[in-house]
Amino acid sequence: MPLLQVENLRTFFHTRNGVVRAVNGVSFAIQKGETLGIVGESGSGKSVTGYSMLGLIPQPPGRIESGRALFDGVDLLSCSKKELQKIRGKRISMIFQDPMTSLNPYLRIVDQLIEPLLIHDRTDRNVALEMAVQMLKHVGIQDADTRIQCYPHEFSGGMRQRVMIAMALITRPDLLIADEPTTALDVTVQAQILELIKKMQDELGMAVILISHDLGVVSGFCDRVLVMYAGQIMESAGTDDLFYRPLHPYNQALQKSRPALQTKGAELYTIRGLPPDLSKTIAGCPFAPRCEHANDECGRSETGLREIEPLHHTACVRVQKGNLKLG
Amino acid sequence: MRTETLPKDIALPKRDAEDQGASLWSDAWHRLARNRLAIAGLWILGGLSFLCFLGPLSRSLPVAIRPVGLSYSYAEQNLDSRVMPPSAWHWLGTDQLGRDLLSRILFGGRVSLMVGLCATAVSLTIGVIYGAVAGYLGGKLDTVMMRIVDILYSLPLALFVILLMVFVGRSLLLIFVAIGAVEWLTMARIVRGQVLSLRKQEFIEAAIALGLRKRRILLRHIIPNVLGPVIVYATLTVPGVMLLEAFLSFLGLGVQPPMSSWGSLIKEGADWMEDAPWILTSAGAVFSLALFSLNFLGDGLRDALDVRAAKD
């Protein structure tokens, strides 16, 4: 049984300008200890997917229209608040995008670090303090026993993200959701933070969902990757398959757009057009209007993930029917 | 001290002496201590309170050692020495009924300072809790709670206080409560506004993701973050409350003669400005001194409590 199984998750935002279908029928599963990447451009629904599972969607305007998220037999989307509170921060932790704003400026690092221990495990304060110092050392903060008494503003961005990681992992969760953990950091620090998450994952044996728009980050980090577009999953595959044998035109276009893979001086490849307006219903494949391989059928037929090769799913109707060969 | 609870094998933080504080409050205190104006304000307020509350007690000292200027009662009338300018016996002069002005100012200070502090404390408590709950829980509850505030706001203040006094009767304690009950409205609005913007901050989201309950988030993460503006507003409320007390006394609803307050003394002084200018000058000077001190202290507190602005 997978650690977390999400089925047909649909999260809509009811705004004045209509219903925005931020996540529209997403299903996936993650095994114990596995690393799952979710990639997609801004607004593709990857963060909302993560937020939905932890009940962090502001309601209203947001609403989870349907779906289940079974975590160890508990449906995170329909369980009581009390049950959810016991799970989040204890068994599922989250790291946020911007370490500059995700720490309370008025509380010392130490108070924020031990908070999960105090509320979830009712750990004795002294024990919690010792654990916090150990954890802070573990995530690579120099002079952890001194620095733990500082306020967040006395830390750099990279150090704050380390603190966030320490805070998320101090209760030894089974699942860590990292929502673009490196986006706000500079490149050298990015690599360090990713290495750190990997190291902690090996030590604690937890599963990680890495949400990112950076294909490079995902390729080096994840076992399996979901590609999201307009609130739906376009393709899901093992990392190597996804990068070297794309089975969806969107994924193929993404791979082609990576500057690192193109010859110097050549004009960079871009996907023409814009992502669709999610407040309007989309008939057929959401990528069809921008797709090089689209035909009439794409704008009409119902899309859904289907396994084409072992463990390799695509939502492209033409690939599913076998009348489009990519690559 | 939190640092003392660290296990023994962990070295204590080595920070410079002025940073040894272990909590937000002691840190804030160290920063405040470096602000000379604020400290001066604190000393002046302390001195004034000391004089007001303990000065009149010197009447019970043996005649030989008690200062002659402090030997009068605030209510003692002496029609032979009416409207006397400051002298060796009456250090600040006397009023139209021959009462010693210094004694009246000191006694009035008790009332004014108490009203200022108590009413502000009342308004602070109600306002912060009400505003924080409305802002954080939001939705329909917020709408209802803030409409109640709007309705109370629209009632004329004097009418509101008069109604309260008519229903509950008149006492000094009631003045505290009545003024506090009026002043909390603005506080609630300020706090609600702050909380509304705080609620969307990522660290609140992070706190929810950590599994914290609403109450803990409100008490530990939201309220400390609104303290800065709240304290500044509170220090502005104290003088406002003192003025309101003066206004009520003027209407005959507040402090009744022979009791005095700074507000009622200033009013008296204004009536006798031509014959006895010392009443207005001395009462006004003491009142202004207190207000200035409060403002400087408020400024200092705001800077001290803002950990982000701290340069250490």
- Compute the distance between CA of residue A30 and CA of residue A14 in angstroms, rounded to an integer: 29
Q: Region A285-299: what's the mean pLDDT?
A: 84
Query: Residue A294 falls within a domain, yes or no?
Result: yes
What pLDDT does residue B177 have?
73
Provide the domain limits for residue A154.
4-222
| Strand A232-238, strand A74-75: pairing | unpaired
What pLDDT does residue A126 have?
86
- Compute the distance between CA of residue A179 and CA of residue A165 in angstroms, rounded to an integer: 12
Q: For A305, how many CA atoms within 13 A lie in the half-sphere containing its CB?
A: 22
Tell whether omega for the bond before B13 is within 30 degrees of 0, i.e. cis.
no
The verdict on A64 and A195 lying in the same domain is yes
pTM of the predicted model over 0.80: no
- What is the per-residue pLDDT across A106-162, written as a single tens digit (0 to 9) for each? 888 888 888 888 888 787 888 888 888 888 888 888 888 888 888 888 888 888 888
- Compute the distance between CA of residue A160 and CA of residue A182 in angstroms, rounded to an integer: 12
CB contact A149 to B (< 8 Å): yes
Query: Residue A50 falls within a domain, yes or no?
Result: yes
Structure tokens at A158: 């990279």
Contact A90 B211 (CB under 8 A): yes
Query: Residue A326 falls within a domain, yes or no?
Result: no
Query: Residue A286 falls within a domain, yes or no?
Result: yes
The verdict on A105 and A192 lying in the same domain is yes
Contact A88 B211 (CB under 8 A): yes
For A211, residues 6+ apart whose C-beta sits below 8 A from its C-beta are: A37, A38, A46, A47, A49, A50, A177, A178, A179, A180
The verdict on A189 and A118 lying in the same domain is yes
Q: Region A305-324: what's the mean pLDDT?
A: 83
Task: Show the beta-strand stretches assigned E in chain A.
Answer: 4-15, 18-30, 35-39, 62-71, 74-75, 92-95, 175-179, 207-212, 224-229, 232-238, 306-309, 312-314
What pLDDT does residue B68 have?
66
- The ranges of chain B with pLDDT < 50 are 1-22, 310-312
Q: Region A31-37: what's the mean pLDDT?
A: 90
Q: pLDDT at residue A229 above 80?
A: yes
Suggest the residue from B10, B203, B208 to mutate for an interface test with chain A (most A CBs closer than 10 A): B203
The verdict on A67 and A114 lying in the same domain is yes
Q: Where a domain ends, among A169, A204, A222? A: A222
CB contact A85 to B (< 8 Å): yes
Q: pLDDT at residue A200 above 60?
A: yes
- Cross-chain CB nearest to A56 (options B209, B227, B310): B209
What pLDDT does residue B69 have?
66
For B118, residues 6+ apart whose C-beta sits below 8 A from its C-beta are: B176, B180
Residues of B in contact with A88 (CB under 8 A): 208-211
Of A133, A199, A142, nearest in space to A170 by CA: A133
The verdict on A214 and A250 lying in the same domain is no
ipTM of the complex: 0.74
Query: Residue A327 falls within a domain, yes or no?
Result: no
What pLDDT does residue B3 have?
44
Q: Where a domain ends, among A222, A240, A258? A: A222
- How many A/B residue pairs have CB atoms within 8 Å? 100
The verdict on A194 and A312 lying in the same domain is no
Task: For residue B269, give the H/E element and its range.
Answer: helix B262-271
What pLDDT does residue B311 have?
45
Q: Is A21 helix (H, G, I), strand (E, B) or coil?
A: strand
The verdict on A206 and A301 lying in the same domain is no
Compute φ and ψ for A141, nearest 5 degrees. -95, 125
| Strand A207-212, strand A4-15: pairing | unpaired
| Strand A35-39, strand A224-229: pairing | parallel
For residue B217, the 8-state DSSP code is: I
Query: Residue A281 falls within a domain, yes or no?
Result: yes
Contact A89 B216 (CB under 8 A): no
The verdict on A157 and A10 lying in the same domain is yes
- Compute the distance between CA of residue A291 and CA of residue A251 in angstroms, rounded to an integer: 11
- Compute the distance between CA of residue B175 and CA of residue A237 in angstroms, rounded to an integer: 73
The verdict on A191 and A82 lying in the same domain is yes
The verdict on A172 and A35 lying in the same domain is yes
- What are the strands of the beta sheet with A74-75, ordered from one edge? A18-30, A4-15, A62-71, A74-75
Q: Do the beta carbons of residue A326 and residue A246 sit within 8 Å?
A: yes
What pLDDT does residue A172 have?
86
Amino acid making up residue B184? W
Suggest the residue from A54, A79, A149 to mutate for an interface test with chain B (most B CBs closer than 10 A): A149
Mean per-residue pLDDT over chain A, rounded: 85
Q: Where a domain ends, among A222, A250, A266? A: A222
Q: Region A75-96: what's the mean pLDDT?
A: 86
What pLDDT does residue B12 have?
43
Q: Region A171-181: what's the mean pLDDT?
A: 88
CB contact B201 to A (< 8 Å): yes
Q: How many domains does chain A have?
A: 2
CATH of the domain at A158: 3.40.50.300
Mean per-residue pLDDT over chain B, rounded: 78
Q: pLDDT at residue A72 above 80?
A: yes
